[in-house]
Amino acid sequence: MARAANIVEIMPSIAPHRVVIIAYDGLCLFEFGCAFEVFGLARPEMGANWYRCVVAAAEPGLLRAVGGIQVVADGGLELLSDASTIVVPGWRGPNAPVPLSLLKALREAHARGCRLVSICGGAFVLAQTGLLAGKRATTHWHHIEELSRAFPDVVVEPDVLYVDEGLLMTSAGSAAGLDLCLHVVRQDFGAKAANSVARRLVVAAHRSGSEAQFIERPVPRRAGARLSALMQTIRARLSESWPVERMASEAGLSVRGIHRHMRDATGMAPGEWLLAERLAHARDLLEETRLPIEKVALEVGFGSGANLRNHFRKATGLSPALYRSRFEASV
């Protein structure tokens, strides 16, 4: 109960934010699920001002999602008239035409200050509105070249998780949509609220939009018991030194073995994984606490503020202080 109370305390006193998710024939269920999980589920711990979410049909008639599941929307495009945020969760194909009525409704919503968010192939819908002309955007890496060819006036970012252009936001494929939706929550309600939602979803609390898409990397296998235990131990004791020899010893593996098992489980070498964990914890501390930079560096195992600044800037393009300034209102 104490955690919920703390979250409610940081919620701004505003009218509930209205989110409309677009449904269409051939609906991409995963992308739709990402948006609904973040914006559509009841979250009493967030207080009375949390999102109010409805689903709008992009077109009349029977709608079926991928797999043949029938979709019943809350209404039609009239629901877009008072939306604060509209989410386009994928689309039925990069070359599939978009109903003119939907394009018109999206343009009108944007003109009155509504935020438009696309997940994966939904970028092709926003591009067809013409609103992305001269703007940066992204989509699933598999469709990057097609988006560039079809819309040469769009500045396509090929290797990022998502792009924030203010009232126009686009994400890469599928799961990157969760990162973008959490980014929206951070903007609207602060880091603590976004981190709470991420914990409920059991996903990383924050991945910056500038992080690269994982292109043609095989899906990692589940870590074995010994490696999982080692990972949890390291996360709990990040301030300590963790050379690969110590990792191997703690896991009861050879140095060669720890390299092989870590790459199989995470796609990264042990040192790369450790660096990513330290940076992730540093972001959490910068967002949620007022610890001095030097103290943050010690807590996450970088040893000095200079070392933290060096690694942090390489990973995010920002200094720790500048990164923290973006979240000060919610600390």
Listed by start position, the domains of the chain span: 2-201, 225-330
State the pLDDT at residue 216.
34
- Cβ atoms within 10 Å of 62's Cβ, excluding its own: 10
State the pLDDT at residue 31.
95
3-state secondary structure of 259: helix
State the pLDDT at residue 214.
38
Residue 228 CB partners (closer than 8 Å, separation 6+): none
Helix axes 244-251, 225-236, angle to 10 degrees: 130
The C-alpha atoms of residue 16 and residue 52 are separated, in whole angstroms, by 6
State the pLDDT at residue 201.
81
State the pLDDT at residue 223.
53
List of the chain residues with pLDDT < 50:
1-6, 8-13, 209-222, 329-331
State the pLDDT at residue 322.
87
CATH of domain 225-330: 1.10.10.60
Q: From start to end of the chain, where are the E strands? A: 18-23, 52-57, 63-64, 70-71, 85-89, 115-119, 136-137, 155-156, 162-164, 168-171
Angle at the Cα of 27 (from 21 to 30), degrees rounded to 5? Answer: 80
CA atoms within 13 A on the CB side of 96: 15
Which helix (H) or strand (E) segment is 206 a member of? Answer: none
Secondary structure of 149-177 as H, E, C letters = HHCCCCEECCCCCEEECCCEEEECCCCHH
State the pLDDT at residue 208.
52
Burial (CB < 10 A; 0-12, 13-18, 19+), residue 269, is: middle
3-state secondary structure of 139: coil
Distance, first Cα to last Cα, the chain:
19
State the pLDDT at residue 124.
98
Select the CATH number that applies to the domain covering 2-201 from these four: 3.40.50.880, 3.50.30.50, 1.10.10.10, 3.40.50.11290: 3.40.50.880
State the pLDDT at residue 323.
83
Entry field: residues in the chain: 331
Quote the pTM value. Answer: 0.65
Burial (CB < 10 A; 0-12, 13-18, 19+), residue 222, is: exposed
Burial (CB < 10 A; 0-12, 13-18, 19+), residue 67, is: exposed
State the pLDDT at residue 144.
92
3-state secondary structure of 103: helix
Q: Quick one: tokens of 211?
A: 């992080």
